[in-house]
């Protein structure tokens, strides 16, 4: 033991000296590997020597008497387990809920066939019941749910039409009872974004945005962006909107709550806000009203076929003359909107304009809408109209070679180019409601920022 203790003492002393030397000179990197190996060898000796007494004890324990292991007897034990009593899986009373989505061209018969309903009494009832007329309003994309027996008998049927009417049909013995009531509606917030490839509607369709929301977006920005000629490939949009659901099924698009449109590198924002007095509208994030006194275009969507010009070859008169308006090509019957609030000054025929409506606005502003196929109901001199109201329909009356709208913007009776003339602004949010607006706009702005980041990430 004395010899072992002496060796351990020597090794420990060497390790301590080595550690002190390395602390004094840490830059000797090339010697580190050799030092490490020396240290490892020393440690192994240290451990080996320190365990000698223990090994001795282990040997002593191994040769102790009466430690021979005895054989172990193995037995196999089989124990029975009680199983629950089996019950019949088919009682003859099984029922099933099935759901199918309405397709174009579907009839009541084809729907019942896909629902696996083989019940002549139910088919006759659904085709003749006065309280089941909602089922005749088959809207593609909507769902019909039916509960049937295993034999195909109809037990219950549920369908929600586009007007939020819910049809409920239930079986009572051998008879059926149908009822219609307003479906319970749940409003959910939806966030979507996308990039323009060819058109706004093409981009929103690709992103799964309903057409009603796309139209609202175009109307919101209509005073700043002309969606007939201003949008470019690569423009981006983000929109937060309401969607109405009933029983988990989307029923109808609601209102746009916030939207952003990046047109040719410039970002436009719109936030919906309704004050405590019931006045609502769309505003920029800092509270400026987006609703201009005049819309840029009287049509929601179309194409410009002839612009404002001092010299244009007239296709009918076959001569050069000024064209003091903008022509929008659109199918006959397309709705024409008043571009601003005002009073009807003329609704009738006028030489080359054909059927024309002239609206007098505040101050010296007036607008004219020519070549109409028909006037909207209530259009007569002195009638009041609001911005966006339908005043007539696109046609080809007067001197026109095809269906289009001739639109004029007049200042003190003189035609001005409606695509370039500066439009007057509407009033911003009232000062007493500014804090309410900012509180409402803050989360909407955050949602648009999330959509913008996702959109940019997908582009990159």
Residues 170 and 199 in one domain: no
For position 163, which CATH number holds?
3.10.450.350
Q: What was the pLDDT predicted at 7? A: 56
388 belongs to a structural domain: yes
Q: For 310-320, what is the mean pLDDT?
A: 50
Question: Which structural domain, as residue segments, surrounds residue 209?
Answer: 184-292+427-460
Q: What was the pLDDT predicted at 33? A: 45
Which class for 396: exposed (0-12), middle (13-18), buried (19 or more C-beta within 10 A)?
middle
Q: What was the pLDDT predicted at 277? A: 83
Whether the CB-CB separation of 395 and 372 falls below 8 Å is answered with yes
Q: Would the pLDDT of 71 be above 70?
A: no
Q: What was the pLDDT predicted at 319? A: 56
Rounded to whole angstroms, how far apart are CA atoms 191 and 197? 20
Residues 319 and 369 in one domain: yes
Q: What was the pLDDT predicted at 394? A: 94
Q: What was the pLDDT predicted at 91? A: 46
Whether the CB-CB separation of 339 and 387 falls below 8 Å is answered with yes
pLDDT digit string, tens, across residues 148-198: 988 889 999 988 877 778 888 999 888 899 888 888 888 999 999 999 998
Q: Would the pLDDT of 449 be above 60?
A: yes
Rounded to whole angstroms, how far apart are CA atoms 425 and 293? 6
Residues 219 and 281 in one domain: yes
Residues 311 and 409 in one domain: yes
73 belongs to a structural domain: no
Residues 351 and 327 in one domain: yes
Q: Which two tokens stand for residue 439?
A: 């509180």
53 belongs to a structural domain: no
Average pLDDT, the chain: 78
Q: What was the pLDDT predicted at 62? A: 42
> Tokens 């601003």 — which residue?
340
E-assigned strand segments in 266-382: 266-274, 280-283, 303-306, 309-313, 320-323, 326-329, 335-337, 342-350, 354-360, 365-375
Rounded to whole angstroms, how far apart are CA atoms 98 and 91? 20
Q: Which two tokens stand for residue 299?
A: 């049509």
271 belongs to a structural domain: yes
Q: For 38-54, what is the mean pLDDT?
A: 47
260 belongs to a structural domain: yes
Lowest mean pLDDT of 18-22, 102-106, 159-163, 271-275, name the range.
18-22
User: Which is it for strands 165-172 and 175-182: parallel, antiparallel or unpaired?
Assistant: antiparallel
E-assigned strand segments in 335-452: 335-337, 342-350, 354-360, 365-375, 384-385, 390-394, 404-411, 414-416
Residues 402 and 455 in one domain: no
pLDDT range class, residue 229, cuts 50, 70, 90: confident
Whether the CB-CB separation of 228 and 330 falls below 8 Å is answered with no
Domain end among 118, 148, 182: 182
Q: Would the pLDDT of 89 be above 70?
A: no
pLDDT digit string, tens, across residues 125-146: 888 888 787 787 788 888 888 9
Q: What was the pLDDT predicted at 24? A: 52
Top pLDDT among 301 and 432 is at 432
Lowest mean pLDDT of 56-70, 170-184, 265-279, 386-400, name the range.
56-70
Q: What was the pLDDT predicted at 343? A: 95
Top pLDDT among 241 and 71 is at 241
For position 329, which CATH number holds?
2.70.70.10
Residues 273 and 323 in one domain: no
Q: What was the pLDDT predicted at 6? A: 53
86 belongs to a structural domain: no
Rounded to whole angstroms, how far apart are CA atoms 442 and 100? 41
Top pLDDT among 401 and 193 is at 193
Q: What was the pLDDT predicted at 310? A: 56
Top pLDDT among 96 and 459 is at 96
Q: What was the pLDDT predicted at 439? A: 92
pLDDT digit string, tens, across residues 366-378: 999 999 999 999 9
49 belongs to a structural domain: no
Domain end among 148, 182, 216: 182
How many Å separate Cα 102 from the centre of its chain? 22
Residues 154 and 166 in one domain: yes
pLDDT range class, residue 59, cuts 50, 70, 90: very low
Q: Which two tokens stand for residue 285?
A: 């994030």
Q: Would the pLDDT of 458 be above 60?
A: no
DSSP 424-444: PPPP---GGGHHHHHHHHHHH
Domain end among 135, 160, 182: 182
Q: Would the pLDDT of 264 be above 70?
A: yes
35 belongs to a structural domain: no
CA trace torsion 352, 354, 357, 358 (10° rounding)? 10
**Percent of the chain surpassing pLDDT 90:** 29
Residues facing residue 414 across a β-bridge: 411
Rounded to whole angstroms, how far apart are CA atoms 294 and 322? 24
Q: What's the residue count for the chain?
A: 460
Q: For 431-455, what is the mean pLDDT?
A: 87
Q: Would the pLDDT of 2 be above 70?
A: no
Residues 315 and 269 in one domain: no
* SS3 label, residue 289: strand
Residues 446 and 432 in one domain: yes
Residues 380 and 458 in one domain: no
The tally of domains found in the chain comes to: 3
Residues 206 and 220 in one domain: yes
Lowest mean pLDDT of 16-20, 288-292, 337-341, 450-454, name the range.
16-20
pLDDT range class, residue 435, cuts 50, 70, 90: very high
């Amino acid at each position: 033991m004395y010899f072992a203790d002496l060796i351990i003492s020597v090794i420990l002393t060497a390790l301590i000296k080595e550690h002190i030397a390395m602390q004094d000179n840490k830059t000797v990197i090339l010697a580190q590997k050799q030092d490490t190996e020396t240290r490892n060898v020393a440690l192994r000796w240290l451990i080996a020597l320190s365990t000698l007494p223990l090994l001795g004890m282990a040997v002593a324990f191994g040769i102790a008497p009466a430690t021979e292991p005895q054989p172990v007897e193995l037995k196999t034990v089989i124990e029975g387990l009680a199983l629950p009593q089996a019950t019949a899986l088919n009682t003859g009373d099984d029922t099933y809920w099935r759901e199918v989505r309405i397709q174009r061209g579907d009839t009541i018969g084809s729907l019942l066939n896909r629902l696996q309903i083989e019940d002549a009494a139910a088919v006759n009832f659904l085709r003749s019941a006065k309280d089941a007329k909602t089922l005749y309003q088959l809207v593609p994309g909507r769902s019909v749910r039916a509960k049937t027996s295993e034999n195909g008998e109809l037990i219950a049927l549920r369908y929600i039409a586009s007007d939020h009417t819910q049809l409920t049909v239930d079986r009572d013995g051998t008879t059926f009872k149908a009822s219609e009531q307003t479906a319970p509606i749940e409003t959910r917030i939806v966030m979507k974004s996308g990039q323009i490839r060819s058109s706004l509607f093409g981009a929103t369709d690709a992103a799964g945005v309903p057409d009603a929301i796309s139209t609202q977006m175009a109307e919101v920005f209509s005073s700043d962006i002309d969606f007939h000629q201003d949008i470019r490939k690569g423009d981006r949009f983000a929109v937060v909107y309401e969607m109405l659901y009933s029983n988990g099924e989307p029923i109808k698009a609601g209102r746009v709550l916030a939207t952003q449109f990046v047109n040719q590198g410039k970002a436009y924002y719109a936030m919906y806000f309704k004050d405590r007095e019931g006045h609502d509208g769309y505003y920029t994030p800092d509270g400026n009203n987006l609703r201009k006194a005049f819309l840029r275009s009287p049509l929601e969507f179309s194409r410009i076929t002839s612009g404002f010009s001092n010299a244009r070859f007239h296709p009918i008169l076959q001569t050069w003359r000024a064209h003091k308006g903008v022509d929008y090509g659109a199918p006959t019957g397309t709705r024409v909107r008043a571009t601003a609030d005002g009073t009807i000054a003329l609704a009738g025929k006028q030489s080359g304009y054909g059927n024309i409506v002239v609206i007098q606005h505040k101050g010296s502003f007036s607008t004219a809408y020519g070549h109409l196929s028909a006037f909207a109901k209530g259009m007569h001199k002195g009638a009041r109209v609001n911005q966006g109201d339908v005043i007539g329909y696109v046609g080809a009356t007067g001197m026109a070679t095809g269906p289009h709208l001739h639109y004029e913007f007049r200042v003190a009776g003189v035609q001005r180019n409606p695509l370039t003339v500066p439009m007057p602004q509407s009033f911003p949010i009232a000062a007493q409601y500014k804090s309410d607006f900012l509180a409402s706009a803050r989360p909407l702005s955050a949602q648009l920022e999330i959509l913008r980041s996702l959109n940019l990430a997908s582009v990159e």
